[in-house]
A and B are shown apart, each in its own frame.
Chain A
Amino acid sequence: MSGGTLFGLCAAVLVGVGMYGMVANAHPLRKIVAFNIVGSGVFLMLGAIARRGAAAGLGGDPVPQALLITGIVVAFSATALAVAVLLRLFDVTGSVTLSADAPAKPVAETPETQAKVPQ
């Protein structure tokens, strides 16, 4: 089995594992980790496809490889945004639950966040 096919199949498994993790873990941070596993699985599959496109003296097709670099950087920025949303949720409500039947805690923004701001 060529390296491209092997890691392509590995990528398929990673996407599945990550998808399961996104549903089965209740904690949003765990969902973010699982989402990153799905993302890296997708990247790995594209990398395996790029490897199959080896030609003209190159070890892989440079166009998908360049897209992968762009993709990895953008995935990081999306993760940073997701983590920032999560930390803000924690700062405002004191919990990170996504459960629909959790008691909605109306928290006034000003006193609560001021209490959290270290002086």
Chain B
Amino acid sequence: MTDVLNAGLAALIVALAIWAVFARDAFAAVVGFIAYGLLLTLVWVQLQGVDVALTEAAIGGGLTGALLIGAASRLRDTEAVARAERPRTLVRVAAAALSAAVTAALAIGVLMLPDPAPTLAPQTMANIAATGVGNPITAVLLAFRAMDTLLEAIVLVFALIGVWSLGPDQTWGGRPGLRHRADPNGILAYLARVLPPIGIIVGTYIFWVGADHPGGKFQGATIVAAMWLLVIMAGLADAPPISRTWVRVGLAAGPLVFIAIGLMGAATAGAFLAYPDGYAKPLIIVIELALMPTLALILALLIAGAPRRPVQP
């Protein structure tokens, strides 16, 4: 029975991917892509990766979808020109042949994977007690492979600096995007008043429970960021000018705390990002507490985009 469900799920996902590639207009393609991301969430649950499923639902489906929908609606007028520039049949046939070859090579690779599969699960479980956290994914993200998570936080800051740099010179330091206006008595403004308290509690819960159960700071921060974006889109609050001190401090705080704790480990435990015996759990919680607001800020501002309004309009 499960096999039939899995096969149906795989078929649906492939069909939606094909739709997202072949749909006539970009808006339809993006809607297909969002449905695709949500179905992938089910696949992650089937693959026993509930933490990954939460991330996929929040970021892969939700935030990426919001970003692409915004871009698709702004670029609607450019689609007719792009359709006329469609590559020639010969190019498309060659692309199809190459893609089919890549798929075949990958499929052969999947079928020839070594058995029994190599795994780091036993080592993770053998050493998880030293970290004090109960969720093996959190232990990997913040203890065994903490360097990856630190670099990821820095990559996010750099991506945001990159997005900001793409604004016109005279709007540098100004507010991103357009001022959103919505009917103050409409359903959007109503939801933007009712949902954020609930969303912030859910986001904080998912963040807090991540120490021992599926969840964590990325998933929690995404929900908090979504609540903020909802308030901005309903016109109840404006996006902050990117030159605000609290924005800058908030962006740098998470990675800086992370680096400071890493350096402390170098001094007291003999390696960068090593935790002194018995202090692993409190230090992990400090890092997560520092990263969560930074991540929420970055994720929301990445969606808000480059500054488009001068500081003093």
Contact = CB atoms under 8 A, between A and B. Distances in A.
Contact of B124 (A63, A87, A96): A63
Interface in B138-153: 139-141, 144-145, 148-149, 152
B223 to A, nearest CB: 14
B182 to A, nearest CB: 16
B56 interface: yes
A80 B302 contact: yes
Interface in B117-133: 117-122, 124-126
A19 B60 contact: no
B237 interface: no
A32 B302 CA distance: 16
Contact of B137 (A21, A26, A33, A62): A62
A62 B152 contact: no
Interface stretch (B105-113, B200-208, B242-250, B280-288): B105-113
Given A26-B85, A90-B74, A61 B40 contact: no
B152 A96 contact: no
Interface in B80-128: 81-83, 85-87, 91-92, 95-96, 98-100, 102-104, 106-107, 109-111, 113, 117-122, 124-126
A5 B111 CA distance: 7
Interface string A9-33: 1111111111111011111111011
B306 to A, nearest CB: 5
B184 interface: no
Contact of B103 (A16, A44, A47, A60): A16
Contacts of B52: 47, 65, 68-69, 72
A23 B152 contact: no
Per DSSP, chain B at the interface is: helix
B99 A69 contact: no
Interface in B2-49: 2-3, 6-7, 10, 13-14, 17-18, 20-22, 26, 29-30, 33, 36-37, 40, 43-44, 46-49
Interface residues of A, number: 89
Interface in A31-63: 32-34, 36-37, 40, 44-45, 47-63
B86 A26 contact: yes
B29 to A, nearest CB: 6
B162 A72 contact: no
Given A26-B87, A69-B137, A70-B148, A117 B168 contact: yes
Contact of B67 (A62, A74, A80, A99): A80
B169 interface: yes
Contacts of A29: 26, 30, 68, 71-72, 75
Contacts of B63: 76
B86 A73 contact: no
B253 interface: no
B48 A59 contact: yes
A46 B240 CA distance: 38
B159 A55 contact: no
22 contacts: A3-B47, A6-B6, A8-B110, A13-B107, A14-B13, A20-B99, A21-B21, A24-B21, A27-B79, A29-B71, A37-B33, A40-B37, A51-B47, A51-B49, A53-B118, A60-B48, A63-B144, A65-B137, A66-B145, A80-B302, A97-B78, A118-B308
**9 A-B pairs with the lowest CB-CB distances in the bound complex, closest first:** A59-B48, A53-B119, A16-B103, A21-B21, A27-B82, A8-B110, A12-B106, A77-B159, A23-B95
Given A14-B14, A66-B145, A73-B156, 10 more contacts: A12-B109, A24-B87, A37-B20, A37-B21, A56-B121, A57-B125, A62-B137, A84-B162, A90-B75, A99-B85
